Amino acid sequence: MSALYMRILLVLLGLNMATGILGGAPSDTYDFSDWDGEAVFFGDSITDYCDLEEYYPGLDAVNLGVAGNTTGDMLDRIQSVYDREPDIVVILGGVNDLYVDIPEDVIVSNLRAIIRGIQEHLPKAKILVQSVYPVVEGSPLLFNRRIMTLNGRLEGAAFELGCTYVDVFSTLRTEDGRLQDGYSYDGLHPSEAGYAAACPVVAKALRDAIEQG
């Protein structure tokens, strides 16, 4: 093999690796076509804007994200989750509450009420509670510290109520707690690269929930 050919091969390999890291569909390691259940994704715009078919291949998933929702808004429309009678519910909420200065106690109380409502109406459903994602908008370090504090409380609530806490924040953050460069197009909402980085964490939690039966 010539040195020139080798250099070309390495460049092409590097480009392919960059494409996989920075954008496009994620790996199909967690293909869900072997599962006949249904998952509901319930949340705000970060859920609403996620292409579930692309990022969770083979998963029978319903997107019940609504842009702009606070956890109070989510609680008000929780009936839409009950009506689907899903096997798994993936919850993500809280960042909009923080932006409008809703107290942490209220956010946690709302999310606990959402969880308890699902447990009461859908006792067989598995519940996955995602961490709030990091941001780069506004005053990122101050705001991300608030997110980290809230996430600690969400993790505790999920554990107490027998749910699975899914730590996406740690995957998307830099060492100082900011959202990594390239993972958002506006400082808040994930870009394709952001979703591609987040989805394997959620997909693993989904697969674990399915295998637990």
Give pTM, 2 decimals. Answer: 0.86
Between the CA atoms of 150, 155, 157 and 159, what dihedral angle is there, to the nearest 10 degrees? -170
pLDDT for res 213:
78
CA distance 166 to 159: 11
Number of domains in the chain: 1
CA distance 197 to 110: 28
CA distance 50 to 97: 20
Q: How far is CA 95 from CA 20, 146, 178, 201, in A?
A: 28, 10, 14, 19
CA distance 207 to 142: 34
CA distance 180 to 136: 8
CA distance 147 to 1: 52
CA distance 144 to 148: 6
Q: What is the CATH number of the domain that holds 52?
A: 3.40.50.1110
pLDDT for res 138:
60
CB 59 within 8 Å of CB 34: no
The SS3 of residue 127 is strand
Residue 137 sits in which domain range?
3-212
- In terms of Cα–Cα distance, which of 76, 80, 42, 79 is closest to 61? 42
Exposure string of 35-69, with b = 16+ CB inside 10 Å and e = fewer, is: beebbbbbbbbbbbebebeebbbebebebbbbeeb
pLDDT for res 29:
61
pLDDT for res 157:
98
pLDDT for res 179:
92
Mean pLDDT by runs of 10 across the 213 residues of the chain is 37 35 47 94 98 95 98 98 98 96 97 98 98 81 91 98 98 90 93 96 97 87
